[in-house]
């Protein structure tokens, strides 16, 4: 076997795909610039490490199952002047996840709660956190399915492994008794282990309506809010404002 083939075999065996793909080009460049062998090796190692990091981020983003790719960078903070931008950007540093703290985004429909929850979740993926997105109804369904398959323990083991779980749209539909029980179990699984980011249109005082049991809801809120950041998003629907604005623009253009 010639040297080139031998080298490429070793690089495959050692699982260094970026070395394999780029060594010839980097070698040529280093040769032209008269750089040392150490520089050549350093450059290749840097590229391999960067590619691995990017792959890991892509894998975490995929596993999280976000319904959109909304980002903090595309959130228009000027549209919600009462929202503390610095506070949101601080949450984007994800220290609350390391501290196992929770986040509740509370506000009327259309105010950007899901946008922010997804954006913060994506940020967490980039920072090495394992994240999973559910709607409240979707999570309840997952429990129902898992129960039918006798796989609740497996589902809960998955849940416990995550650093952050996003629960979107809690409160939009009241949960039936089975679903409410599932979510109680879910909240106990996460307590002091997994951070939660919850979006809801209902203040805590109205949560008993969602779960249908005053006492259990009280216990749940107690745990959730043991360590919590509550972000209230005031105001009207962004979608509505946005479409009114474009209509005004249309009028003005006439």
Which C-beta is closer to ligand ADP: that of 107 or that of 171?
107
For residue 199, list its beta bridge partners. 105
Q: Taking the complex as a whole, how short is the minimal distance between the CB of residue 79 and ligand ADP, in angstroms? A: 4
**CB burial of residue 97 (10 Å; 0-12, 13-18, 19+):** buried
Nearest to 211 by CA among 176, 166, 185: 176
Q: Which of 21, 57, 71, 75 binds ligand ADP (CB under 6 A)?
A: 75
Q: Is 126 helix (H, G, I), strand (E, B) or coil?
A: helix
Residue 80 contacts ligand ADP per CB under 6 A: yes
Give the interface size with ligand ADP as a residue count (CB under 6 A): 16
Q: Per-residue contact track with Mg ion, 104 to 123, x per CB under 5 A?
A: ----------x---------
Q: Of Mg ion, ligand ADP, none, which one sits near residue 75, judging by CB under 5 to 8 A according to partner kind?
A: ligand ADP
Residue 238 contacts ligand ADP per CB under 6 A: yes
How many residues are there in the chain? 254
Q: Taking the complex as a whole, how short is the minimal distance between the CB of residue 118 and ligand ADP, in angstroms? A: 8
Nearest to 193 by CA among 237, 158, 146: 158
Which C-beta is closer to ligand ADP: that of 112 or that of 171?
112
Site for ligand ADP in 123-152 (CB under 6 A): none
Q: Is 25 helix (H, G, I), strand (E, B) or coil?
A: helix
Q: Please choose, out of 53-61, 71-79, 89-97, 213-221, the segment that lies near ligand ADP by the rule CB under 6 A.
A: 71-79
The two tokens of residue 120 are 């913060």
Residue 109 contacts ligand ADP per CB under 6 A: yes
C-alpha distance from residue 127 to each of 103, 164, 209 (Å)? 17, 12, 36
Q: Please, what is the Cα angle at 228 between 97 and 158, to 5 degrees?
A: 45
Residue 66 contacts ligand ADP per CB under 6 A: no
Q: Taking the complex as a whole, how short is the minimal distance between the CB of residue 164 and ligand ADP, in angstroms? A: 17
CB 37 within 8 A of CB 49: no
Residue 70 contacts ligand ADP per CB under 6 A: yes
CA 21 – CA 214 distance, rounded (Å): 61
Q: Of ligand ADP, Mg ion, none, which one sits near residue 132, judging by CB under 5 to 8 A according to partner kind?
A: none
CA 26 – CA 134 distance, rounded (Å): 44
Contacting residues toward ligand ADP, per CB under 6 A: 70, 75-76, 79-80, 107, 109-115, 199, 238-239
Residues lying near Mg ion in the complex (CB under 5 A) are found at 114
């Amino acid at each position: 076997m010639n040297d080139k083939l031998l080298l490429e075999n070793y690089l495959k065996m050692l699982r260094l795909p970026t070395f394999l793909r780029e060594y010839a080009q980097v070698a040529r460049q280093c040769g032209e610039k008269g750089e040392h062998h150490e520089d050549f090796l350093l450059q290749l190692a840097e590229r391999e490490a960067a590619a691995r990091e990017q792959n890991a981020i892509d894998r975490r983003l995929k596993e999280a199952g976000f319904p959109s790719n909304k980002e903090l960078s595309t959130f228009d903070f000027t549209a919600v002047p009462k929202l503390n931008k610095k506070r949101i950007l601080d949450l984007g540093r994800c220290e609350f996840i390391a501290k196992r703290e929770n986040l509740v985004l509370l506000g009327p429909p259309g105010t950007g709660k899901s946008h922010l929850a997804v954006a913060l979740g994506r940020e967490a993926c980039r920072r090495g956190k394992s994240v999973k997105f559910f709607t409240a109804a979707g999570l309840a369904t997952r429990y129902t399915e898992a129960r039918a398959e006798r796989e609740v323990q497996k589902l809960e083991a998955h849940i416990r492994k995550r650093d952050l779980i996003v629960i979107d749209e809690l409160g939009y539909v009241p949960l039936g008794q089975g679903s409410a029980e599932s979510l109680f179990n879910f909240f106990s699984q996460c307590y002091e282990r997994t951070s939660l980011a919850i979006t809801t249109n209902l203040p805590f005082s109205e949560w008993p309506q969602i779960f249908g049991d005053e006492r259990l809801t009280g216990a749940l809120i107690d745990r959730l809010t043991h360590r919590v950041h509550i972000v209230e998003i005031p105001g009207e629907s962004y979608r509505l404002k946005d479409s009114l604005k474009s209509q005004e623009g249309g009028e003005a253009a006439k």
